[in-house]
Amino acid sequence: MAEEAVIRERFAPIFQKLGALVGAARDAFNRHSAASLEELKKLHGELAADLKNSLDAVDQILAKAPDIQRASLVRWQSILIHLQVLTETLAGLAAPIGRKAKEGILFSDKAVAQANHLFDQAAGILRSLLDTIKTDNDFLKRYVIEESQKLVHNCNEFATEHEARLIEGLCLPQAAPLFLALLDGMRTLGQYGVNIGRILAQ
């Protein structure tokens, strides 16, 4: 239906900004870049507005839609709500990353490599989610779910490895809560990636 096509078109700029937000977080993490932190905060504000406007538009369409179309429209509403949570989660990384930069806290080489691997995975999942929304491809739906599950698994594995490094004295104690906060954020992204993939597969 025409209304659904209009809703789908709203996702491209949202996912592009989510990808840029992940990129800004990664750059701020690696380079202690104040400019990237500011970009992250700016993107957060833009995304919050875009998502609210999109949800308002879906609500207006839902209010007039016949019953036969409501289930499909509710799916898009649910995805947008999931993306609101994702946006807040990713924006929340500004606090630990900002503290890392402000206090000059160093991570072990292993932790830096793991963090960058997670940033790569997150960016890939966001790109695949947009492709899935555009194409409604069943293979991509399964792929998004599997990749999101891998991201969750990696976050759990990296948390266990980090604890071992901490016990062995291979990383600074003040780095621990910051790394774990990053893992929590990426784990949430993975969990919501699974949820969105399953909604798209319905």
pLDDT at 113 over 90: yes
Segments forming the whole domain that contains residue 190: 2-201
Give the domain CATH number at 196. Answer: 1.20.58.220
Between the CA of residue 85 and those of 9, 14, 102, what are the distances in Å? 20, 13, 27
Q: Taking a C-beta distance cutoff of 8 angstroms, is the pair 91, 40 a contact?
A: yes
Give me the chain's average pLDDT, please. 94
The whole-model pTM stands at 0.94
Give the mean pLDDT of 73-99.
96
Count the domains in the chain: 1
DSSP secondary structure, the chain, as one string: -HHHHHHHHTHHHHHHHHHHHHHHHHHHHHH--HHHHHHHHHHHHHHHHHHHHHHHHHHHHHHH--HHHHHHHHHHHHHHHHHHHHHHHHHTTHHHHHHHHHHTPPPPHHHHHHHHHHHHHHHHHHHHHHHHHHH--HHHHHHHHHHHHHHHHHHHHHHHHHHHHHHTT-S-GGGHHHHHHHHHHHHHHHHHHHHHHHHHH-
pLDDT for res 1 = 61
Q: Helix 2-9 to helix 34-64 angle, to the nearest 10 degrees?
A: 170
Q: Taking a C-beta distance cutoff of 8 angstroms, is the pair 57, 10 a contact?
A: yes
Local confidence band at 185 (pLDDT 50, 70, 90 cut-offs): very high
Q: Residue 84's Cα: distance from chain center in Å?
A: 10
Give the mean pLDDT of 8-17.
96
Give the mean pLDDT of 41-67.
95
pLDDT at 52 over 70: yes
